[in-house]
Amino acid sequence: MKRILVVLLISFCGSSLGEPQSESPVLPPHVPAAPIQPEPTKLEPITPSAPQPITPSAPPPEVTPTFTPMIKPSKLKQIQAKPSVAKPKVAKPRQIQLGIKNSVTLEVRTILGYHVKIVRVNLENPKIRIKAILPKHNKGANFDAMVAGSKAVAMINGGYFNTATFAPAGDLVINGRYVARGKLRTALGITPDNRAYLWVKPESLSRASRLDWSGFETLISSGPYILRRGLVQVTPKTEGYKDAAVWGSAARSAVGISSERKLFFVSTSERLNLWQLSKIMKALKAKEAIALDGGSSVGMAWKGKVLIHPKRRIAFSIAVYQ
């Protein structure tokens, strides 16, 4: 039995594996019997076309926002008006105006223990003028009346005079003209271009050969010198003063010069001799100084108000005008 089965099995395998089958294989219905050959594609030549001009497209239309801004236009302008970066500050040129406040000033001070009143004058202001004031008649005048009748900013008593005739003891020049001739050799001179000088006429000049003061707009003779080149110098006799009352103790007035453009007047009711007066002028930084009339003639006024009243009539006064 076993032999029969082995023989059948060998025969079966040999028929299936040893020789190829003569019959064609059966294919599934969806598979073609012969392979599909693709037909060759015919390529047509490409003829290049002429380039076409490019027409620019129209700009897109403006889009108007439909939202409402949170900041109103008025507030927006205010915010934009304030820059975030601080602007550099440029210093403006300083303008110096020489008005009456800067050109003529009044000081009331205590110098070396003495109470004095000082009128400072800045001649750099071309509107400032210093002149001698004479009364209309030759009998002298009350100082208060001279102040009331003038428009001067300040007024001080002048130089020496003859108490009987009220004639000035020295030369006087007003507006470039001689109005008086005298014997004094010391004087304050103001030029037409507002420069101040103190002069001493040489002793060698006789009365007939007087020094010509015609180059001055204003000239007021007085003295003696009490300060020269910043040094105390009191020698009244060498300048021709013989009256002891000149260098004695009395109320005093004086004029000092610190430069060609700056001078000042000093008056005090306290009794001083010439040496004490010279030290006060030096303390006030004067380079040159001469004494004016003193004693009962001392007077000073400021803007129409009399600060020191003379005790007698005087021949003339010194006025400061703007």
CA 2 to chain centre: 143
User: Pick from 149, 117, 120, 122: which is nearest to 133 by CA?
Assistant: 149
> Tokens 């406040």 — which residue?
101
Which tokens belong to 225? Answer: 């010198």
- Residue 268: the pLDDT is 97
Ranges of residues in the chain whose predicted pLDDT is under 50 = 6-10, 12-25, 31, 38, 63, 65-99, 206, 208
Is 0.75 topped by the overall pTM? no
**Which pLDDT does position 207 carry in this prediction?**
52
pLDDT for 97: 43
Q: What is the pLDDT of residue 49?
A: 54
Q: Any residues with CB less than 8 A from the CB of 42 and at least 6 apart, and which? A: none
Handedness of CA 162, 165, 170, 176 (dihedral sign): positive
The C-alpha atoms of residue 157 and residue 143 are separated, in whole angstroms, by 8
Positive or negative torsion for Cα 73, 78, 79, 83: positive
Structure confidence at residue 99 (pLDDT)? 47
Return d(Cα 125, Cα 103) in angstroms, integer. 7
Q: What is the pLDDT of residue 201?
A: 75
Q: Torsion-angle region of residue 113: left (phi > 0), alpha (psi -120 to 50) or beta?
A: left
C-alpha distances in Å from residue 71, one per residue of 68, 78, 84, 311: 9, 11, 19, 82
State pLDDT tens for residues 148-188: 978 999 999 999 999 999 999 999 999 999 999 888 889 99
pLDDT at residue 242, as a whole number: 84
